[in-house]
Chain A
Amino acid sequence: MNTIIRSPLAFAISAALATTALPASAQEDAVKIVQSKCLACHTEESHTKKNEGAPQWSRISHQRKTPEGWLMTIGRMQMMHGLQISDDERSAVVKYLADRQGLAPEETADYRYAMERRLDTMEAFDDSFFEEMCARCHSGARVGLQRRPAEEWEHLVHFHLGQWPSTEYQALARDRDWFPMAINDMVPKLAKMFPMDSDSWDHWQAAPKPEFVGQWSFAVHQPGRGDGSGLMTVTKQEGDQYSVSVDGQWADGTPLKGSGSAIVYTGFEWRAEIDLGGVITRQVLAASKDGMNLRGRVFEAAHDERGMEFTAAKATTGNSQIIAVYPQNLKAGESTEVTIVGAGLKGRVSMGNGVSIEKVLKRSYNSVTVLTKADADATTSANAVTVGGVNGGQFAVYKKVDSVKVQPAFTIARVGGNGGSTPKVQARFEAEAWGAGPDGQSGTDDDIRIGYLPANWHVEPFDEAAKADNDVHFAGRMDAASGVFTPGNAGPNPERRMSTNNAGNLKVVASVKDGDQTLQGDGQLIVTVQRWNDAPLP
């Protein structure tokens, strides 16, 4: 029954958003493609007032989705319903539908983690009915990134139970009259939560759209790697396609350079594929409505868990902002180079009380690097950083570290490799230092975030069961210096109790040295099995 997961097509599909060229007269072509490929099953409908002039098709014209959502839909038509369509044709249809029937920026805001492939996100919904009926098998984001009228949500319920008949027998379904509840209660709820018609979408369609061409000053942060910054130059190609070049460096001076191409969907959804020094990466970014910022995640195409936070400011006249300051902190009495990244960074640099600027080492419109020194008697504080009149940066000075938190506090890694179809999925951790604040007590509201510090990493059994099963030995290895955990091989392991696989439940421990003291913080890592069904939206 799991045809999706077995098909090589599934893997090809997840890679398809930024790679294929669109035909010149894209809109016309997309309509022709839909008419020639989709109308074997869908029917052409009479034009409505709202979509005057544009053709309407059954099902297709009554839903709004993200580019990933449309890609999944067409991919499913290929895998389950025999649709024959070339990659170029599919790209053209995805583009056409995402532009005409997409989501407004604010409609995506709560669920961007799904598009950004943050697959360790722990979703939590106040509405337990929504969680049990929808987010039990797949992410709630997959639902939250669609808009449909009630009739279409009802079709979706029928599709689910028809395609996966065990749905109504599973835990949290067999305790209730699942199908009548899905139809009578869930459908109206979804139509209200995620309606086809919305003011947001109407306004966004009418609004001026961001201009992507030009230079973007960017900053990145990758756990296990650190910070970097540079310039991303965007040049217009056909339609909403762009060529992209990236020129920057990591904090340690390693180049961060590459080039590639991008497509913009729905006026603000930026999807790029960039070759960064031989590693193919994807950018899933959203432009702010005013076109002055790009935000999201960049990750390796073959290993989406290896990703970086990405923030960019348009390097253009009138845009003055600070988007990043790194490193994030300085110990009293010590000095360091600090880089401030943003746009329009003119004027005097201030790092706040207790931190003096010894020298400006490097300066451009988009970044300033200064040599800073923290006063020997500086107390722990989180300072505002300004450059001239530009605010927005943060920098901590600290007397001593009072506590350490492991970030993320809970995450997963997945076994893989070993001749199987699915690679290992690593986990990455950072040690976040905190000061106790005025009350001298850690864990209270007045704690001061100092920020990330280098740590020495190891793992321990999380509980007695993990100890008895020797999870530390079998589940993988933690790199002591980087905080990167690489899980064990996939498959049953005859050396383990009941030949179980190399899953494990581990306590992740960070040891941070601060002067004479060493502080520890811990988090939890579940090493689990492969993600077999790896759809563009989880």
Chain B
Amino acid sequence: MNNKNKMRKTLRSLMAGAGIVGAALTSGYTYANGPALKAGQEYMVVANYPNQIHVLDLQTDSLLKTCKVPGAYGPGVLQVAPDKKTVYMLTNHYEDVYGINVDDCSISFHTTFSNKQKYLRTKSLFSMALSPDGKELYVMHNPTKLNRDHYRVQDSYLAVYNTADGKDAKPVRTFPAPRQVTVMATGKDGGLYMAGADIYKMDVKTGNYDVHLPSRNWERPLYVQPDVLNAWPIQTPSKDFTILYTTARFQDEKQDLATADWIYGYLNVDLETGETETTDFGPITEIYFTGMKSPKDPNLVYGVLNRLAKYDVKQQKLIKAAELDHSYYCIAMNHDGSKVYLGGTFDDVAIYDADSLEKLGNIKLPGGDMAISTSQIFVR
């Protein structure tokens, strides 16, 4: 326990910064005009203040269009639907999901979690995923009952929505769920992976869930409990659900932290097969907010925060790192694995060559800070 505490203290100031940010209010909104997306072409979506979604054309690495979203910004978690046309955004201070048709910027779906009549204020901390057929949306709800002179925190639960239910959608099913879940993803079999204390898998028909891949409760001899935070549910071209961890491994049973190895690694669920991995990929030399496997070479892992770094997983070695103009939180890669796109914080997306880590350019976004938005790359 003591050793675990030491570990936490070392890490704590580094990872806590991804918390909740303030928000600017939009007064009214208009739908941007812009071309519809073209089939077969690769795009990236990312959100920023004052609550808008940008579509970037990755053929030309330029801004294609901007869709305004009602309400206040934050956190800007995006999920691209299987139709590759509808983009779902968790926003309005973690209390609403909008489904936006990025062809014409129209709103196809909206739900607000809170219920004023029942004095319930409900938020979702980055937890949103879509069924493989796009017909259902899964959102973790964290409600608080606002009584007249005191609050009562309620149990967390999973809410299931029909995406066809339009602009006043209500949950069609709810299931009890563990607290502290952040990002989620669905497998090919429709099972819902929920990353919390451990990575759980839920049957979205019955609500039954169990631990699919342990993290807080892993049993790896000589390893301390890992520190895991993920606020960016990145939909990867390789269909991997990847979450970084940091940990320490003692040399022997004496458990001497002074001689322990400090390690970066990832937890991974293959969303096609459900296969899991717990893989160390290198020593900790700096912190990454997000990381992902290369779509073209699963032995390569990239991580970003203050540098963009590339690791050889088998050799557990840093291959290369690029200095950045400023911090970036969220990583994305194109489908052939040739380019890395960095979003989050400030108002520009930076593009790097995935092999050389040379900078290829920036795409400046209209509006303000992306903050902790999730950027997603997809092929229409």
Question: Can you list 9 A-B contacts (CB < 8 A)?
Answer: A1-B21, A2-B22, A162-B146, A162-B153, A165-B20, A166-B20, A174-B180, A498-B323, A499-B325
Other-chain residue from A1, A5, A128, A158 in contact with B150 (beta carbon distance below 8 A): A158
Any B CB within 8 A of the CB of A175: yes
Q: Is there an interface contact between B325 and A165, defined as CB atoms closer than 8 Å?
A: no
Any A CB within 8 A of the CB of B151: yes
As a 0/1 sequence over residues 129 to 166 of chain A, the CB contacts with chain B under 8 angstroms (1 = contact) are 00000001000000000000000000101110111111
Q: Is there an interface contact between B152 and A171, defined as CB atoms closer than 8 Å?
A: no
Any B CB within 8 A of the CB of A73: no
Any B CB within 8 A of the CB of A110: no
List residues of chain B with CB within 8 A of the CB of A2.
Answer: 20, 22
Q: Is there an interface contact between A1 and B20, defined as CB atoms closer than 8 Å?
A: yes
Any A CB within 8 A of the CB of B258: no
Bound together, the chains give a CA A5 to CA B22 distance in angstroms of: 10
A220 to chain B, nearest CB (A): 36
As a 0/1 sequence over residues 215 to 243 of chain B, the CB contacts with chain A under 8 angstroms (1 = contact) are 01000000001011100000000000000
Any A CB within 8 A of the CB of B125: yes
Having A161-B153, A166-B19, A175-B8, one finds 8 other A-B pairs with CB under 8 Å, namely A5-B22, A42-B149, A136-B12, A155-B150, A158-B144, A165-B123, A492-B326, A498-B306
Any B CB within 8 A of the CB of A11: no
List residues of chain B with CB within 8 A of the CB of A37.
Answer: none
Other-chain residue from A1, A5, A158, A172 in contact with B153 (beta carbon distance below 8 A): A158
List residues of chain B with CB within 8 A of the CB of A178.
Answer: 179-180
As a 0/1 sequence over residues 8 to 39 of chain B, the CB contacts with chain A under 8 angstroms (1 = contact) are 10011111100111110000000000000000
Any B CB within 8 A of the CB of A479: no
List residues of chain A with CB within 8 A of the CB of B216.
Answer: 175
List residues of chain A with CB within 8 A of the CB of B144.
Answer: 158, 161-163, 165
A residues within 8 Å of B by Cβ? 1-2, 5-6, 41-43, 58-59, 128, 136, 155, 157-159, 161-166, 168-172, 174-175, 177-179, 492, 498-500
Closest A-chain residue to B4, C-beta based?
A175
Q: Is there an interface contact between A170 and B16, defined as CB atoms closer than 8 Å?
A: yes
As a 0/1 sequence over residues 326 to 344 of chain B, the CB contacts with chain A under 8 angstroms (1 = contact) are 1100000000000000000
With contact pairs A59-B150, A174-B229 given, residues A169 and B180 touching in the complex (Cβ less than 8 Å): yes
B residues within 8 Å of A by Cβ? 4-5, 8, 11-16, 19-23, 93-94, 121, 123, 125, 142, 144, 146, 148-153, 179-180, 182, 197, 216, 225, 227-229, 306, 323-327
A101 to chain B, nearest CB (A): 16
Other-chain residue from A5, A58, A170, A500 in contact with B19 (beta carbon distance below 8 A): A170
Q: Is there an interface contact between B8 and A172, defined as CB atoms closer than 8 Å?
A: yes
List residues of chain B with CB within 8 A of the CB of A1.
Answer: 20-23, 93
List residues of chain B with CB within 8 A of the CB of A5.
Answer: 22
Most buried by A among B5, B121, B151: B151
Other-chain residue from A6, A58, A161, A175 in contact with B227 (beta carbon distance below 8 A): A175
Q: Is there an interface contact between B149 and A41, defined as CB atoms closer than 8 Å?
A: yes
Q: Is there an interface contact between A163 and B229, defined as CB atoms closer than 8 Å?
A: no
Closest B-chain residue to A154, C-beta based?
B150
Bound together, the chains give a CA A159 to CA B149 distance in angstroms of: 10
B327 to chain A, nearest CB (A): 7
Q: Is there an interface contact between A498 and B179, defined as CB atoms closer than 8 Å?
A: no
A265 to chain B, nearest CB (A): 24
Bound together, the chains give a CA A41 to CA B147 distance in angstroms of: 9
Other-chain residue from B94, B225, B306, B327 in contact with A175 (beta carbon distance below 8 A): B225
A317 to chain B, nearest CB (A): 51
List residues of chain A with CB within 8 A of the CB of B125.
Answer: 165-166, 169
Other-chain residue from B8, B142, B323 in contact with A165 (beta carbon distance below 8 A): B142
Q: Is there an interface contact between A168 and B306, defined as CB atoms closer than 8 Å?
A: no
Q: Is there an interface contact between A162 and B8, defined as CB atoms closer than 8 Å?
A: no
Q: Is there an interface contact between B94 and A171, defined as CB atoms closer than 8 Å?
A: no
Q: Is there an interface contact between B306 and A171, defined as CB atoms closer than 8 Å?
A: no
A532 to chain B, nearest CB (A): 9
Bound together, the chains give a CA A43 to CA B147 distance in angstroms of: 12
List residues of chain B with CB within 8 A of the CB of A128.
Answer: 5
Q: Is there an interface contact between B153 and A179, defined as CB atoms closer than 8 Å?
A: yes
List residues of chain B with CB within 8 A of the CB of A159.
Answer: 150-151
List residues of chain B with CB within 8 A of the CB of A171.
Answer: 8, 11-16, 227, 229
List residues of chain B with CB within 8 A of the CB of A164.
Answer: 20
Q: Is there an interface contact between B12 and A168, defined as CB atoms closer than 8 Å?
A: no
List residues of chain B with CB within 8 A of the CB of A155.
Answer: 150-151
Bound together, the chains give a CA A172 to CA B8 distance in angstroms of: 7
Bound together, the chains give a CA A5 to CA B228 distance in angstroms of: 29
List residues of chain B with CB within 8 A of the CB of A41.
Answer: 148-149
Q: Is there an interface contact between A177 and B197, defined as CB atoms closer than 8 Å?
A: yes
Q: Is there an interface contact between B149 and A59, defined as CB atoms closer than 8 Å?
A: yes
Q: Is there an interface contact between A498 and B324, defined as CB atoms closer than 8 Å?
A: yes
List residues of chain A with CB within 8 A of the CB of B152.
Answer: 158, 162
A182 to chain B, nearest CB (A): 10
Closest B-chain residue to A59, C-beta based?
B149
A162 to chain B, nearest CB (A): 3
List residues of chain A with CB within 8 A of the CB of B153.
Answer: 157-158, 161-162, 179
List residues of chain A with CB within 8 A of the CB of B197.
Answer: 174, 177
Closest A-chain residue to B180, C-beta based?
A168
Bound together, the chains give a CA A492 to CA B369 distance in angstroms of: 14
Bound together, the chains give a CA A1 to CA B94 distance in angstroms of: 10
Bound together, the chains give a CA A169 to CA B15 distance in angstroms of: 11
A52 to chain B, nearest CB (A): 23
List residues of chain A with CB within 8 A of the CB of B182.
Answer: 169
Going nearest first, the 8 A-B pairs with the smallest beta carbon separation are A162-B144, A171-B12, A162-B151, A171-B16, A158-B151, A41-B148, A1-B20, A155-B150
Bound together, the chains give a CA A6 to CA B12 distance in angstroms of: 26
List residues of chain A with CB within 8 A of the CB of B229.
Answer: 169, 171, 174
A175 to chain B, nearest CB (A): 6
Bound together, the chains give a CA A160 to CA B180 distance in angstroms of: 15
Bound together, the chains give a CA A171 to CA B21 distance in angstroms of: 17
Q: Is there an interface contact between A168 and B179, defined as CB atoms closer than 8 Å?
A: yes
Closest B-chain residue to A43, C-beta based?
B149
Bound together, the chains give a CA A1 to CA B19 distance in angstroms of: 10
List residues of chain A with CB within 8 A of the CB of B11.
Answer: 171
Closest A-chain residue to B144, C-beta based?
A162
List residues of chain B with CB within 8 A of the CB of A169.
Answer: 125, 180, 182, 229
List residues of chain B with CB within 8 A of the CB of A168.
Answer: 179-180
Closest A-chain residue to B181, C-beta based?
A169
Closest A-chain residue to B15, C-beta based?
A171
List residues of chain B with CB within 8 A of the CB of A59.
Answer: 149-150
